[in-house]
Each structure stands twice: as structure tokens, then as C-alpha cells.
Amino acid sequence: MLFSSLSLIFNDRAGLGNQIGLALGFIFAFGYQALGLSWNRWWFNLLALLALAFALVYGIWFAKDPIQVIIYFLGYLLLIRMFELETARDQKLALLLSLFAITAGSLLIYQLRYLILFLGWLISSIFSLSLITISNDRVIQRRAPGSSRLFAFVSSAGILSVFLGFLLFFILPRVGYTLFNLSFDSNRAWTGYSSTISLGDVNKILLNQSPVMRVQIKNHHQPIPGIKWRMKAMDYFENNTWEDRLGVNTNFINYFTRPVTINPKPPPGQEIVQEIYLEPGIGPELASAGFAYAYLLPYQFQYFLCYFNDYCALPILPFERTQYLAYSVLPEYSESEINQILSSIPDLIKEKNQRWLLAFLELPSGSESICELAREITEKEETPFQKITILSNFFQADFQYSLENLPSGPNPLEQFLFNQKIGNCEYFASAGALMLRCLGIPSRLVAGFLTGEWNQTQHYYLVRESHAHAWIEVILPGLGFIEVDPTPIPAQLEFIEASFWAEHFDSLIFLWNRWILQFSIQDQVRGLRKIQAEGMRFRYSLQAPIREINARIRAKPIAGIVLIAALIAIGALLLKLKPGTRTGLRGLKKFAPDQRRVIKFYLKMLGHLKKRGFEVKPSSTGLELAREPNLLPEAREALEKITRFYYQLRFGNKELKPQEWAEIETELKSVKKLI
């Protein structure tokens, strides 16, 4: 009951009133039981009725989500029941309510701590039910099991329950949908990423260390330096705000069994496959590194959208963690290729099919001073690549990164460039993009995340909200784009390796998310196919030795006959030993240790007689067998002594002394010799 209560108290979606109320209530309940108090049952029944009435009224007229009201009604009902544990019936009812409560808690908690609470509840409930049964046996004067037997039963039952639970979890088909789509209010503030970026709205930004996503790159056991995770690209800047005005390019149908290619001609570069676990609440955009050319999404999404600005998004905002595969290329261009493409921009925009480039050269009104500064900085540079490099170095040398005292006013970008020279990544990327446009270099602003923290244990990146970032992409028509990041990134946001304990703890969270919360029907299919493949591989591995044995038997038939005869002899020996090892010994666990011991002596005596040819029927007794005329007087006397000891201990509950046990062993040996 304690663990089921904790599953309702320690969750992110419980209100403070519910947490305090349940916690104090259970403390009072434990104190009530510890002090042995006894109040009239009528008061507790009245409290249960009041709780039901309140839950109905609040759930029907006031609650945003009635399911949550039902869950907490179970919690308060369990709290009331904990004051009434006088009879075995009350205790079993409380355990049943705790089962409902721990099950309901799974709708509120999806973190790793729920597994700990569930395992604690499972073990404690089995132990409690065993104690209730033992207490009931003592009341009706039945023999209670010993402590060792009780411990073995509870341990084996708990292990078996966990094993069967996990087996059913991995076998039952995964539908990919939750039973209830619970939506609760969240008080989390996102620090950097947004579908639009506005400058000058805030003066200070606080870092948030909440995880945003975990990314595992297939076949990569070492981090890739400088990798970034794109979310959304924006082309239009006006009134200090960036937006995506180009909109949707194509809707793609999701096949969910194979990747959907969105760009059949990706640029040259290093190809990577990313398995991404995206937390809910960020947005519908799909994170990916570099130039994404294909996606493999969960089958609950029938289609997805891809935009002109080279990013894709889900059709709806997911309320659950989303797992998918992104196939990308990290573009690699030579300096000559970049210069050649960018130098041809003035000629390209004159063609009708290249007018889309104008969106990445458009400047907001009042940009004259920014353009003048850009031309002044790059007046000595000749090639576009050199101009891009000198602009990036300009920001790295003369400006300072900060999340406090951010520029404000009607034109915060000019305030940043000419006065304060202090800002966050949004100011650096915005100023850099506009200055590149002033030089005739098409560019856009990209919102996403920095590399994050590398987990060496499981080989994945942990990306937090504090890693939210904005940078520039220079458009290369016909090739793709290149990243330009003018922001002097502070040391605390650069790529780091997690500490030992943080790394291993987050590894557990990652495994919990991957193989419990995100375990899908695709994983089941892959697992079954792997089992099938391993079975075929094992079968093929046996074919070679079987063929070799057949060849040797054909070459030497006598050896084959000897081998078959030996196998038959071994089988006959096992069949002969089987009755002697099992007959008559079943069901001995229900007897006391001394009774089991004397029964074994008695059965051994009957076994010796049977081996010597005496007819031992199921109804034969030791005294009847002692009257056999073919027995020697000494053997007859030994049989009678063993049988008397057996009757006294088996049916008379007599306790034998050590010398009497020694006498039984002596008589059994004499029986074996004399018959």
C-alpha cells in the first residue's frame, strides 16, 4: 500500500494539495495502526461516501480531466481503508485497492521511478498476502509454514511474477496508442527553441536543464564533434521577429515499415542514421542533424509535412515521447565549390525557376546601417567564402555571449551591434544572417540544439533545453546549405561528457524509455525475426556434424551399431532409475522434517524388499511383509523395528532421539544384508 500511494504522490502531474493531503493522510494512518487505536467503523464509511460525492461533483462540473479525478478518488479510498485493517477481509480489500492505485499510477508516471515503485509494491504485496494467509491458518488451527519455507515461497512468487509480467509485456502486441490521452497543465518554460524567434521581448533568460531528446547514431561509438540538431529554419525577418513564410512543400505518406525518402539526391558528405527519442511538448518539428533525406516514423502518424526550408514536422503536436529514425548527410563542400555557387547567385535569381532565392536575400526596412557595417568589415575580402569567414570572426572577437541584460527597445538588433555588443545566440545569428544578405549571400536562421552531453556507456547524446541554439545556414542552390555559427558559445554549453554517476543514471532512463515506454510493434517484429534467424543459424550449424556422423557410420557400420546400442542402453538405464528416484517420494514437502526422514527410511526398506523379489503391493505394510516365511528371523525383527518407528513418528507425532535414529540406520543396513 505504501508503494501504490507513493506512485500517486510522487508524480509531476499531481497538484500540491493532493500531494500534501495524501502524504499527511498516510502518515496519520500508519500512526493510527502503530498506536493500536480503534474508532467506530461508521466514521470511515461516512468519509468514503463523502470522498465519492466530492469526486463525482468535482469530476463532472469542474475537473479538466475526469480520469485524473477517478485516479485520486482511488488514492483517498485506499487512505480511508488503511484505518480499517482489523480483519483478514479488510486487509485483502486494502491490497486490492492498492493494486488499482498502482495501476492508475502508471497513467501519471512514465519515468524510471515507476518501475522501482512497482517492484516494491509487488514484493511487499506478495509478502503481505502470505502473512494474511498464515494468520488465517493459525486462527483455524492449520499448520503454518516455517520461516524458510515462507521466504522461499515469497521470493519465488515475486521473481516468477516479475518474469511473467515482462514476458507478457514483450509478447502482447503493441498498439502504439495510449488508452487515455491525458493532458495536464505544465509549468515548464522553454529557454531557447520556438517556432518563431523574437528579439527584444525578454531581458533575461534562465537555463532549464530538463532533457529534450536523446539521440543515438547507429554504428557510432564515439561522438561527432560540432554536430547540431536542426528543428526549424526561418527565412522572413520583420519587426524583430523571424518566421517561416515559405511554408509546406510536400506531404509524405508514412509507411512505418520502411524509410520514406524526401530527397532522393542528398548532397555529398558523411551519411548517418539517427535514432531519436524526442520528448513531448517541444513542437511538431522533427529534429535531425545535417541534411535529412529520409525518415522512418511510428505508424500512428499517417503522414508528415516537409517544408521548403528543408525541415519536416508531424501533422499534430505529440503529447507523448516520439521515437523515430532520421537518415541524414553531414554536407562536405570544398571552398572552391562554395565560391563558385555563391558567385553565380546574381545570375541565378534572374531565372524564373530560381526566384525562390529572393526570400533568402530579403532585408527588413531600416537595415541600411547593418549593411554598411557588413560592407565595411568585408571590404578587403574578395570571395564569398572569405566574407563568410571574416564576418564569423568579427562576432567571435568583439562580442560577448550572455543571457542577461539582453538588448531591448524598438530596434534591439542595432542596439546589439552598435552599443551593447552583448547578447545570446538569437542576436548573433540574426545579425549575421542579415549582414550576409547585405553582401548578396542567401541565408536563413535555424533554430535547434547544440551537440549535448555524450553518454559513453550507451553511446548516445543527451540534449537538454539549455542546449537550445540558433545559427545561420547559407543556401547553396543545387547543392544544399552550409552551417555558419557566429556565436561565441560559452564553455558550459559546449559539448561535454557526463560525469560517471550522471552517465549511468541517465543510461537507465534511456533504456527504460527505449525498451519499456517506446517498445513498439516494429521492435516485436524485429525481435521475432531475430529469433527466427538465430534458429535457422543453429539448425544450419548442426547440419555439418550430422552429415559427418552419417558419413562415418556409413564408412564403419559396426561403429554405428555400437553407438546405437550404447544409446539404447543409456535410455534403458534412465528408465530403470526413474521409478526408484521418484516413486513414493512425491508430496513429502507437506510433512515435517522428521516425518520426511522416517518416510524415506521406510521407502528404502520397501525398495530393498522389492529388489530381492518380494511382492510389495501399494497396500502392503511393513508388518505384513515381516511375516513372509522366506525371511530370516533377524531380518523379520529389523523390519518390525523400522515399521514401529515409522508408525510412531508418522502417525503418533513422536519425537525420536538421536540414538533411535542411529538404531533405524543400523536396522536398515541389516535388512539390506539379510535379505
- C-alpha neighbours within 13 Å on the C-beta side of residue 186: 10
Predicted confidence at residue 184, as pLDDT, reads 41
Is 366 within the bounds of a domain?
yes
Whether the predicted pLDDT of 633 surpasses 80 = no
Is 650 within the bounds of a domain?
yes
Same domain, 148 and 210: no
User: By percentage, how much of the chain surpasses pLDDT 70?
Assistant: 70
Residue 225: partners with Cβ closer than 8 Å, 6 or more residues away = 451, 495
Q: Which of residues 543 and 151 earns the better pLDDT score? A: 543
pLDDT digits (tens, 9 = 90+) for 557-578: 777 777 778 888 887 777 666 4
Is 570 within the bounds of a domain?
no
Q: Average pLDDT, stretch 9-24?
A: 63
pLDDT digits (tens, 9 = 90+) for 164-198: 666 656 655 554 444 344 444 433 334 556 778 88
**Amino acid identity, position 621:** T
Same domain, 146 and 203: no
Same domain, 152 and 220: no
Predicted confidence at residue 144, as pLDDT, reads 47
The helices-and-strands tally (H runs, E runs) of the chain is: 20, 20
Top-confidence range, 142-156, 207-221, 305-319, 588-602: 305-319
Q: Which of 171, 188, 219 is the endpoint of a domain?
A: 171
Same domain, 484 and 593: no
Same domain, 238 and 138: no
Is 541 within the bounds of a domain?
no
H helices of 463-556, in order, are 500-512, 521-555
Q: Average pLDDT, stretch 84-98?
A: 74
Is 411 within the bounds of a domain?
yes
pLDDT digits (tens, 9 = 90+) for 203-244: 777 667 778 899 999 988 889 988 999 999 999 999 999 999
554 burial via Cβ count (<10 Å: 0-12, 13-18, 19+) = exposed
**Amino acid identity, position 361:** L
CA triple 295-301-304, angle to 5 deg? 55
Same domain, 163 and 204: no
Q: Which of 469, 498, 517 is the endpoint of a domain?
A: 517
Predicted confidence at residue 475, as pLDDT, reads 94
Predicted confidence at residue 60, as pLDDT, reads 63
Is 224 within the bounds of a domain?
yes
Q: Average pLDDT, stretch 648-668?
A: 74
**542's grid cell:** 548442426
Residue 251: CB atoms within 10 A of its CB come to 10
Q: Of 278, 280, 283, 347, which Cα lies nearest the Cα of 315? A: 283
Same domain, 156 and 222: no
Q: Which residue has the cell 547544440?
A: 450
Mean per-residue pLDDT over the chain, rounded: 77
Same domain, 386 and 268: yes
Q: Which of residues 645 and 498 earns the better pLDDT score? A: 645
Full residue range of the structural domain in which residue 129 is found: 2-171
Top-confidence range, 37-51, 204-218, 308-322: 308-322
Q: Average pLDDT, stretch 457-469?
A: 87
Is 620 within the bounds of a domain?
yes
Predicted confidence at residue 152, as pLDDT, reads 66
Beta carbons of 370 and 427 less than 8 angstroms apart: no
Chain centroid to CA 362: how far?
Answer: 46
Q: Which of 517, 537, 555 is the endpoint of a domain?
A: 517
Partner residues linked to 234 by β-bridges: 445
Global confidence as pTM: 0.54
Same domain, 393 and 247: yes
pLDDT digits (tens, 9 = 90+) for 254-267: 987 889 999 988 99
Predicted confidence at residue 110, as pLDDT, reads 54
Beta carbons of 242 and 196 less than 8 angstroms apart: yes
**611's grid cell:** 529388489
pLDDT digits (tens, 9 = 90+) for 377-427: 999 998 999 999 999 999 988 899 988 888 888 899 999 999 999 999 999
541 burial via Cβ count (<10 Å: 0-12, 13-18, 19+) = exposed
Q: Average pLDDT, stretch 48-70?
A: 68
Residue 552, φ and ψ in degrees, nearest 5? -70, -40
Beta carbons of 416 and 427 less than 8 angstroms apart: yes
Q: Which of residues 378 and 158 earns the better pLDDT score? A: 378
Is 535 within the bounds of a domain?
no
Q: Of 339, 216, 213, which Cα lies nearest the Cα of 279? A: 213
Q: Average pLDDT, stretch 609-632?
A: 69
Same domain, 256 and 162: no
Predicted confidence at residue 183, as pLDDT, reads 43
Top-confidence range, 43-52, 174-183, 221-230, 626-635: 221-230
Q: Average pLDDT, stretch 584-597?
A: 62
Same domain, 496 and 610: no
Same domain, 256 and 312: yes
Predicted confidence at residue 209, as pLDDT, reads 74
Question: Which of 287-301, 453-467, 573-587, 601-615 comes out lowest in average pLDDT?
Answer: 573-587
Whether the predicted pLDDT of 275 surpasses 80 = yes
Residue 364's pLDDT band (boundaries 50, 70, 90)? very high
Number of domains in the chain: 3
